[in-house]
Amino acid sequence: MSDTQVQHQSLHELCQTEAFIGRHIGPSVADQAQMLTDIGVQSLQELTEQVVPEGIRLNAPLNVGAPRTEAEATAYLRSLAKQNFVAKNYIGMGYYGTETPAVILRNVLENPGWYTAYTPYQPEIAQGRLEAILNFQQMCIDFTGLDLASASLLDEATAAAEAMALSKRVSKNKKCNLYFIADDVYPQTIDVVKTRAEAFGYEVVIGKAEDALNHDIFGALLQYPNRLGEVLDNRELIAAIKAKKAIVTLATDLMALQLLTSPGELGADVAVGSAQRFGVPMGYGGPHAAFFVTRDAYKRSMPGRIIGVSKDTRGGTALRMAMQTREQHIRREKANSNICTAQVLLANMASFYAVYHGPQGLKTIATRIHRLTQMVATAIEGSSLQLLNKQYFDTLTFKAADNAALVERAQSAGINLRVDSDALGVSLDETTTLADVAELISVLTDESAGDVEALDSQLAEQGYAISKDLLRSDKVLEHPVFNSYHSETEMLRYIKRLENKDLALNHSMISLGSCTMKLNATTQMIPISWPEFAGMHPFAPVEQAAGYQQMIKELSDWLIDITGYDALCMQPNSGAQGEYAGLLAIQKYHESRGDDHRNICLIPSSAHGTNPASAQMANLKVVVVACDKQGNVDMDDLKAKAEELSDNLSCIMITYPSTHGVYEEQVREICDLIHSHGGQVYMDGANMNAQVGLTSPGFIGSDVSHLNLHKTFAIPHGGGGPGMGPIGVKAHLAPFVAGHAVVKTGETSQDNGAVSAAPWGSAGILPISWMYTTLLGSKGLKQSTQVAILNANYLTNNLSQHYPILYRGRNDRIAHECIVDLRPIKEATGISEMDIAKRLMDYGFHSPTMSFPVAGTLMIEPTESESKAEIDRFIEAMVSIKGEIDKVANGEWPLENNPLVNAPHTLADIVDGEFDARPYSREEAAFPVVAVKANKFWPTVNRIDDVYGDRNLFCSCVPMSEY
Ligand SMILES: *Cc1c(COP(=O)(O)O)cnc(C)c1O
């Protein structure tokens, strides 16, 4: 543009209100024109008309508003953040203030090297986060005194629900259907476990912990320390419950366990809890990592992912996800859980917190918290308040003459107390200072706190307010990793060393079909660290969270508009949780109409594994519907099954566009057919990136969908979580969405039962999707969808000359992703999809989705954020790999020794003198195309042996000598 042109632009143009659209969308306008020409269409509009069936095309624009600039959006969100009042919180109940070490805040939470990574399905380029998660598992094992930990669950309450499910699977009391929950467990935990039990068809009895012995049960859930802060020695009770063949789960707290005897030593079979207070901000409820630890005997029954140690082809130690065959991708409705996206980024933060502080540092923090609590207890005892605790760690419960008046006095001093039916409580945490305690004491007792320092010295002499036999005496965190990085320099380098092993979006495109790895813009990420969002307690009085509430309302309204639904429930904290929540709403709706018997869920064979796993959790019977050769739902099979099962039909779960990457023409017909049999339609929203602004589930005729905000709405994948899976529903389902036992979440009945621990799920990351939506506005959202489709069709067009494309829809086009069929290649040459996936690493790329939804294929989704240049590099890599396959096919390279089967190549390979024996050069191995030289990514291990790792299961930190 010339200077005179710039001078003649209007102020509107100079403000660049739409500039962000151009930053989010990868290809420039000129590139888009070239790509359109390449695929033989004139415009994005023409392409849209070619791919999206006419009958479902929206004819009105979205109502999300005009795009805002980054500065405008940030300023407005700041004004909302300022409406949050972050009180001094003593509410506790599983959520505590914590100091995120700045070195972890900046280099992990705020670092795209960590937050833009994918779930470590390609372990050779994920050894960094795999090591960080292994550290998480090790610390959970050490603190709980049990054998085997999972790689994180969604929150404490759902972890407890998973513990109940495990208890049912492994208890020897096979015929029993009754689960016991102690009444001193957190109310949100009871709520979530009860909801799950009801869905599973288990009965639940809630009573005093000792009551467990009066029932014939398959398991019991106790809390340690309990809701009131009491630390009870339940050894005998636990032994007695176990003697009745029931499985005992202790919900517990990692900070308390720095001082307390471990759950394992008390005899528990399972320990669950939240790792939030290990450096992860409360964020109005999440995201945080929950932990799940159990005995070795139950390892095959564990829910969620587990990281294990194996070997690579050079015999070196290498980490990867263990026992994957337990989970829903393989086991479908027989899986242990429906957990897919979990909380990896937050588990990593918690594990780094433990690495940074080490065993001594953590014990010091815990002791300080306990000492401050002792001071408050002493003051309460000397006042008119009545202290209810005998033994405590950080939480006190007491009664006042007038509880309400005391709560009010505290609130006017900016202090939140816990309100517990007829008592009040305080929980202290790492952030509490001596001055805070002095203030708290004077608010509670209405008298000056006196000389707190003298009190401190006096209490220091007395020691802990916990009896000796409940203090832990075993050593924890003895592994060198927890004893080596306590200086910031060492810590910084350790974090960086791990980061360097991992390929994330800040290196190259991650074209994971179905997972939509788009740009996570920095502007979108920044607000999650603002103290007004990060520091909010989920059970703070709702009027203190006015900014959060307004932000959630605005985002909900936009999502309602985008999905064509009538209402939205923000509680589910992953896509799979959304499925479960949506199916529960459907079942409650049927029940409300006297249709309790409707229990059949139809699921096409191409469905994502979480669909059948979630259906099973909602106690539905899965009936699989066939797909035809084009990958569409086989209408004849569907009609026959709907007819046959009509009386008991609950719902169908479909994905749109289908997991095969095409807009099925008959989707409306499917919805009508199901409705005509009295069923409901659940549309899996994972592929919303191909719908936004062009069509919508509500418009098509579906009743409920989850949205994966971590796919379509720009929340980063975090190396395997966090995510958010809110559900949109039509009006008739709105009364049946999840409620919450502690906080009223809206018009719906609170007794609908909760699906997550926090009322609005992982509210702390909603600013990302809020920012995403408003920065793009109606116009940019629609354009994003159109370019996502353009990028996918451009890529397909260029790959199809070299590889067969499995499915195509109207006009031979695809939607936003394509499936490359590698089965013919494998049959002809012996080179597998796995070889190609690993070889892509040598070219600096993460493999696309492997073998989903069809075995022996790769599913590629470039998203709108990838530029033409990057897509061209990817095409170049795939074409070059095809050339390599041809060399194997024509005998130039033997099948057992070529760059494909030997991939990925490490530096160790290249410097190895024995490399000379290979039939290809070092250059061909490491720099197969010129572009790689400028930006080489070195996998740090060779191909990993999964079978060895599963046969020799080892899921804790390896001795340093092995590295
Ligand atoms: C990602 C995905 C899910 C599960 O969502 P999570 O957030 O990982 O629990 C369900 N269905 C499809 C098609 C998906 O791609």
Residue 595, class by beta-carbon neighbours within 10 Å (0-12 exposed, 13-18 middle, 19+ buried)?
middle
pLDDT of the residue at 1: 58
What ranges do the domains of the chain cover?
Answer: 104-353, 359-470, 541-774, 775-951
CA distance 847 to 517: 12
Write out 2-33 in H/E/C secondary structure. CHHHHHCCCHHHHCCCCHHHHHHCCCCHHHHH
Q: Which atom of ligand 1 is nearest to the CA of 655?
A: 13
Q: Distance between CA 926 and CA 844 in Å, rounded?
A: 10
Q: Is 659 in the pocket of ligand 1 (CB under 6 A)?
A: yes
Please report the pLDDT score of residue 119 as a whole number. 96
Pocket perturbation via mutation, ligand 1, pick of 154, 155, 341 by most ligand atoms within 8 A of CB: 341
Mean pLDDT in consecutive groups of 10 residues from the start of the chain, 963 residues:
72 82 97 98 98 96 97 98 98 98 98 98 98 98 98 98 98 96 98 96 97 98 98 98 98 98 98 98 98 96 95 96 82 90 97 98 98 97 97 98 97 97 97 97 93 92 95 97 98 98 98 97 98 98 97 98 98 98 98 97 95 96 93 94 98 95 94 98 98 98 98 98 98 96 81 95 98 98 98 98 94 95 97 98 97 94 98 98 98 98 98 96 98 96 93 88 72
What was the pLDDT predicted at 3? Answer: 67
CB atoms within 10 A of CB 926: 19
Is this structure's pTM higher than 0.85?
yes
Q: How far is the CA of 725 from the centre of ligand 1 (A)?
A: 9
Measured between its terminal Cα atoms, the distance across the chain in Å is 56
Q: Are 255 and 277 in contact (CB under 8 A)?
A: yes
The Cα–Cα gap between 661 and 792 comes to: 10
Cα of 469 from ligand 1 centre, angstroms: 46
Please work out whether the CB of residue 281 comes within 6 Å of at least one atom of ligand 1.
Answer: no
- Which pLDDT score, from 0 to 100, does residue 135 have? 98
Report the relative pairing of strands 88-89 and 415-416 from DSSP bridges.
parallel
Burial class (CB in 10 A: 0-12, 13-18, 19+), 317: middle
What does DSSP assign to residue 529? Answer: G
882's tokens:
């095809």
Please tell me if the CB atom of residue 343 comes closer than 6 angstroms to any atom of ligand 1.
no
- Ligand 1, atom 6: nearest CA belongs to which residue? 575
Report yes or no: 721 and 762 within 8 Å, Cβ to Cβ: no
d(CA 101, CA 617): 38
Q: Determine the pLDDT at residue 2.
A: 64
Order of all β-strands in the sheet with 818-821? 818-821, 857-860, 849-850
Please state the atom number of ligand 1 nearest to the C-alpha of residue 577. 9
Are 704 and 733 spatial neighbours (Cβ–Cβ below 8 Å)?
Answer: yes
DSSP secondary structure, 758-775, as one string:
STTSSGGGHHHHHHHHHH
What pLDDT, on a 0 to 100 scale, did the predictor assign at position 434? 95
**What's the rounded Cα separation, in Å, for the pair 745 and 737?**
10
Ligand 1 atom 3: the closest Cα is on which residue?
575
Please give the CATH superfamily to which domain 775-951 belongs.
Aspartate Aminotransferase, domain 1 (3.90.1150.10)
Q: Which of 3.90.1150.10, 3.30.9.10, 3.40.800.20, 3.30.1330.10 is the CATH number of 359-470?
A: 3.90.1150.10
> Is 341 close to ligand 1, i.e. is its CB under 6 Å away?
yes
- Ligand 1 near 608 CB (within 6 A): yes
- Check if 104-353 and 541-774 are the same fold: yes
CA distances from residue 273 to 18, 225, 738 in whole angstroms, order as listed = 45, 11, 22
CATH of domain 104-353: 3.40.640.10
- Local structure of 104: helix, strand or coil: helix
Mutate to test the pocket of ligand 1, among 343, 653, 708 (most ligand atoms within 8 A of CB): 708
Per-residue pLDDT, 4: 67
| Residue 357, φ and ψ in degrees, nearest 5 | -80, -35
Could you identify the atom of ligand 1 that is nearest to the CA of residue 574? 7
Cis omega (within 30 of 0) for bond into 263: no
Q: Is 574 in the pocket of ligand 1 (CB under 6 A)?
A: yes
Instruction: Report which protein residue has its CA nearest ligand 1's atom 14.
Output: 686
Best residue among 579, 580, 608, 709 to mutate for probing ligand 1's pocket (most ligand atoms within 8 Å of CB) is 608
- Cβ of 725 closer than 6 Å to ligand 1, yes or no, is yes
Task: Please list the alpha-helical segments (H only) found in 52-180.
Answer: 70-81, 102-104, 112-115, 127-144, 156-170
Atom index in ligand 1 nearest the CA of residue 610 equals 10
Ligand 1: centre distance to CA 780 (Å): 24
**Which residue lies with its CA nearest to atom 15 of ligand 1?**
514
Shortest-distance atom of ligand 1 to CA 514: 15
Residue to probe by mutation, ligand 1, list 155, 339, 340, 603, most atoms within 8 Å of CB: 340
541-774 placed in CATH 3.40.640.10: yes
